[in-house]
Structure 1
Amino acid sequence: MSLPQIDTTGLFAVAGKSAIVVGATGSFGKVACATLGDAGARLVVTAGSKDDLAALEAELGTAGIDAVAVNRRPNTEADCDAIVDAAVEAFGGVDILVVASGVNDVAMIGELTPDRFQKVMLANVEGAWLMARAAGKRMIEQGHGGKVVFTSSARGKLGHPAGYSAYCTSKSAVDGLTKALGCEWGKHGITVNAIAPTVFRSPLTAWMFEDNENAANVRTGFLARVPVGRLGEPEDLAGPLLFLCSRASDFHTGHIIYADGGYTAG
């Protein structure tokens, strides 16, 4: 049997692609911007904080990354349509959508009000649904496929004892959305997948990386569940993201990629 004829040239290439990163000023959003921008994609970056977005746009410009900023969250149909329209106006279309926005509200269920629960669901689930709907319609009209990447979590698969009833529920819903749209849009050449991290270095988790007794005790308990024996770094998310945004993943859709050091395997 002869060797398969596999051309790896450009397998992970995204240069020149038009990519929307929603929630671009957050921890995973910045990883997405840095990864796709460094690989040559042209970015539309969105966030709710005007100041944070301006700072990110300036930083991307200094790095030589072609980026357009849109000061909107995916709260409404009009917001999402405006984000997609900005990509079309700037770069002629939409090839990649990364939804990195989201929130958490930690409280035991007896203390969590319905309004607070609903805010988590709106930000993490409805926002992703609305944004995918707007970008997906454009991708289907373009007729050459596309890539959609949601942000899930290990908590979409696993529970948590410390007040995560809203967050776990929302991320399980994101997983369901990933699978549903993967099935629905496969015939259009649009792949839909999600990256599900566990703890990785960010402003919110910086305390876990500190050299003190409290952080060490927390790490010891957590790392007992992580086969690779360390916490995650931002670059641990870059590889899966580039894979899911490039033609390397053309036969992968409806999947949840756990970037967790094996946390969910055991």
Structure 2
Amino acid sequence: MNVMANPLSMFDVKDNVALITGASGAFGMVAARILAGAGCKLVLVAGNQTALDEISKECTDMGADVTCINARPATEEICSDLVAKAVDAYGRLDILVVASGMNKVAPITEMEPATFEAVMDANVNQSWLLSRAAARQMKKQGDGGKIVLMSSARGLLGHPAGYSAYCASKSAVDGIVKALGCELGKDGITVNAIAPTVFRSPLTAWMFEDNDNANAVRAGFLSRVPIGRLGEPEDLAGPLLFLASKACDFYTGHILYADGGYTAG
């Protein structure tokens, strides 16, 4: 096919098999909707069964073939099993999206070491273990694959409100992306990350409200966002589809900041 004559074909992921962890969370649900709408076969993983059922039904209603797994990718064995179940269900794995993770906010003088370790485990260790399990399968298939991790603008920038664990964890995720981008490139496996700033979600809904507190916080934040608004879920659609498709074949080891220009200034 002449790609230049049909450039949209580069973004075609129809019938690709995508494993999404944290599928009941803010970014995971967005990723599930985007890839369902693009025609992927989905393996959705989440620890919240009720929320998992809801996003599964939504994607099924969109016409997607969906397999659900109620689990958290907390150990090497679970991560390997998730990939194995994706292969059992659909015969292969083309796309991994790691949307699972957590944040615990506290000043460093008050944060317990166990809290720091829990954030690092959820955001760093699990990203590494899932990437490891997916890479093994993709290398076995022999025709490449796409790994998309979840970073944050806080992997690049600090934050004054008790984000020492979160910032450290996202910086580490960025390091994994760069290292694996170099390591797996020869196998045709691209490894990249999406790094959002504030996006509309159940956790950030208060920032979108019209009251004195929300207005003051939002104004302070928007003073550093050149686009002049907070992020919406659909702002993640283009970056994710790009990173999950053939359009990304020559792009690896990158952190794509979905931030309205926040990190540019």
Alignment of 1:170-249 (within 5 A): 170-249=169-248
The alignment partner of 1:258 has SS state of strand
3-state SS in 2 of match to 1:44: strand
Whole-angstrom CA distance in 1 between matches of 2:4 and 2:82: 40
Q: Which amino acid aligns with 1:215?
A: A
Partner of 1:75, secondary structure, is coil
Matched to 1:133, the amino acid is R
Secondary structure, counterpart of 2:11 in structure 1: coil
Q: C-alpha separation between the residues in 2 aligned to 1:181 and 1:7?
A: 31
Give the Å deviation of 1:7.
4.2
Determine helix, strand or coil for the equivalent of 2:71.
coil
Cα distance change, pair 159–40 in 1 and its aligned pair in 2 (3 A): same
Aligned position for 2:142: 143
Deviates more, 1:37-46 or 1:5-14: 5-14
CA displacement at 1:73 relative to structure 2: 1.2
Match of 1:123 in 2: 122
Q: Secondary structure at the match of 1:11?
A: helix
Matching residue's letter, 2:116: F
Map of 1:261 onto structure 2: 260
Runs (5+) with no aligned partner, structure 1: none
- The one-letter amino acid paired with 2:94 is D
Kindly indicate whether residue 68 of structure 2 is the aligned counterpart of residue 69 of structure 1: yes
Matched residues in 1 for 2:256 and 2:55: separation?
27
- CA-CA distance at 1:81 after TM superposition: 1.4
Q: Which amino acid aligns with 1:59?
A: E
Q: Which amino acid aligns with 1:132?
A: S
> TM-score, normalized by length of structure 2?
0.97
Work out the CA distance in 2 between the residues paired with 1:216 and 1:53. 33
Superposed CA offset, 1:121-154 (max 9, x none)? 0000000001111111000000000000000000
* Deviation, structure 1 residue 6: 5.7
Root-mean-square deviation (Å): 1.1
Give secondary structure in 2 for the equivalent of 1:104: coil
What SS does the aligned partner of 2:162 have? coil
Identity of matched residues, %:
62
How far apart, CA to CA, are the structure 1 residues paired with 2:108 and 2:173? 20
* Structure 2 gap ranges (5+): none
Alpha-carbon distance in 2 for matches of 1:238, 1:230 = 17
SS in 2 for 1:10: helix
Q: Following TM superposition, where does structure 1 have runs of at least 4 consecutive aligned residues deviating by more than 4 angstroms?
A: 4-7
- In the TM superposition, residue 60 of structure 1 has moved relative to its aligned partner by 1.9
Relative distance call for 1:161 and 1:9 in structure 2 (3 A) is: closer
Q: CA deviation at 1:261?
A: 0.1
**Secondary structure of 2:43's partner?**
strand
Displacement after TM superposition at 1:55 (Å):
2.2
Counterpart of 1:194 in 2: which secondary structure? Answer: strand
